[in-house]
Amino acid sequence: MARSSTVLHSLVAVALLTFASTALAEPRIGGVVQQQFKGATGSRVGGAFEQLYFNRDVFAGETVRTPHDGSTVLQFADQTQLQVGQGSSVVLDRFVYDPNTGLGDEAISFSQGIFRFISGRTKNEGSTGLTTPTATLTIRGTKLIIYVANDGSTTVAIIEGAIDVAPCGGGAAVHGTAGQTIQVTAACNGARQVSIDSLPKDPAVESDYALAETGGTSAAVVVAGSGNSPSNGEAHPGVASRSFGPDPISEALDRLDPDHDGDPCCDRGRTEN
């Protein structure tokens, strides 16, 4: 009995180490909710690019790309949604969200292309950092279309909410509200209002994915683990929740002690008398 207890404690220790090593890797921050695959790929830090199919997890630090005729839609822990249009590249720097407090710390770097960004449940203002090669955006309950040209110039159309656009070069930030479009050129000579017609057309970002693609519903992302999933385990009404797989501690215990008797020595090849 004492031996079994000692072995069980050892198993738990190994499982906790396994969990710790997993936690130290880039955390899962969301997933792909676009059901039709349109060529998008993602590369985790130090990894190769993989195809981003529906329900595939995305991770902090991951780079997401689409081909010239492609698109994808990502949804994060606080229900923030990012629609990635054709010929685009974006880095998901970090996304931390505590559903118990509604506070978060989020950062996304838009490298090139066109995007529709719909902010989620995070409450604290200034917690979401959106950057491009020429601008930094501070958002407030916002729905945006963001376009980054090949030369890094940035155009932002504000559909809902408000933003402050701080241009590269240390120029003064420009405040924008719904219906306005603000542009920062590659010359970093300030931010100015322009016509929304300066944005290229892309069906992938012209409307909210949930309305355009699935008649008002989309798969909601619920990140497994403490601090990353809604406190009641539910998603928004009318959407299907999804998790990111088994608890890593349980997985490690299952591998080490398949029959859960606290003693892994005789699990393999055991037969009943």
pLDDT surpasses 50 at 227: no
Does residue 56 fall inside a structural domain?
Answer: yes
CA-closest candidate to residue 156, choices 195, 99, 101, 98: 195
Share of the chain above pLDDT 90, in %: 56
Does residue 33 belong to any structural domain of this protein?
Answer: yes
Calculated CA dihedral for residues 125, 208, 218, 163, nearest 10 degrees: -10
State residue 3's pLDDT score: 54
pTM score of the predicted model: 0.70
Whether residue 104 contacts residue 78, with contact meaning beta carbons closer than 8 Å, is answered with yes
Strands 181-184, 174-177: pairing kind: unpaired
Tell me whether residue 88 is in a domain. yes
Query: Is residue 267 domain-resident?
Result: no
Q: Is 246 helix (H, G, I), strand (E, B) or coil?
A: coil
Mean per-residue pLDDT for 128-135?
94
Task: Judge whether 22 lies within some domain.
Answer: no
Residue at 253 is within a domain? no
For residue 135, what are the CA distances in angstroms to 29, 171, 173, 225?
24, 10, 9, 34
Burial 196-209 (b: 16+ CB within 10 A, else e): eeebeebebbeebb
Least confidently predicted of 22-26, 113-117, 175-179: 22-26
Block residue for tokens 């890593």: 248
Q: For residue 191, give the CATH number of its domain.
A: 2.60.120.1440
Structural domain contains residue 15: no
Half-sphere exposure of 77 (CA within 13 A, CB side): 29
- Tell which phi-psi region holds residue 87, choosing left (phi > 0), alpha (psi between -120 and 50) or beta: left
| pLDDT tens sequence across 139-183 | 987 899 999 999 999 999 999 999 999 999 888 999 999 999 999
Question: In total, how many domains does the chain have?
Answer: 1
Which amino acid is present at 47?
A: G
Average pLDDT of every residue of the chain: 78
| Pairing label, strands 81-84, 103-118 | antiparallel
- Give the residue carrying structure tokens 């054709």: 86
Span 49-72, pLDDT tens digits: 999 999 999 999 999 999 999 999
Q: Per-residue pLDDT averaged across 80-89, rounded?
A: 97
Structural domain includes residue 11: no
Both structure tokens of 70: 């492609």
Distance of CA 123 to the CA centre of its chain: 17
Place of tokens 């309305």: 211
Domain carrying residue 203: 29-244
